[in-house]
């Protein structure tokens, strides 16, 4: 149980892929890890027919990568759960 308590103090960088409906996976993970810190999250959308066609622009992904880098390089600053929704 002590190991689990340590995980809850961790810093997470979450990203999901989806085919049109991201659901609430990121919020569910955040809720299960109360007390943890989260870097900016990202929801990457692909073709809803299961294809490899990425609908989220590469520019949006690059911008997210830069936000994550900035958060890490600014002294490891992570965002509290309420500040993590990127709604992309």
Percent of the chain scoring above 70 in pLDDT: 74
* pLDDT, mean of residues 34-45: 87
Residue-wise pLDDT for 10-22, tens only, equals: 778 888 888 888 8
Q: Which of 41, 42, 34, 28 has its CA nearest to residue 84?
A: 41
Percent of the chain with pLDDT over 90: 22
Gap between the Cα atoms of 34 and 37, Å rounded: 8
- Asked whether residue 78 carries a pLDDT value surpassing 80, the answer given is no
85: helix, coil or strand?
coil
Question: What is each CA distance from 36 to 11, 39, 58, in whole angstroms?
Answer: 6, 10, 29
Alpha carbons 46 and 78: distance in angstroms, whole number: 27
Model's pTM, two decimal places? 0.68
Which of helix, strand or coil describes residue 25?
A: helix
């Amino acid at each position: 149980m002590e190991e689990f308590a340590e995980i809850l103090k961790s810093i997470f960088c979450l990203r999901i892929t989806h085919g049109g409906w991201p659901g609430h996976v990121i919020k569910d993970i955040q809720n299960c890890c109360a007390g943890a810190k989260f870097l900016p999250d990202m929801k990457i959308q692909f073709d809803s027919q299961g294809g490899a066609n990425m609908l989220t622009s590469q520019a949006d992904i690059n911008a997210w990568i830069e936000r994550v880098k900035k958060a890490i390089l600014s002294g490891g600053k992570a965002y509290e759960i309420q500040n993590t929704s990127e709604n992309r």
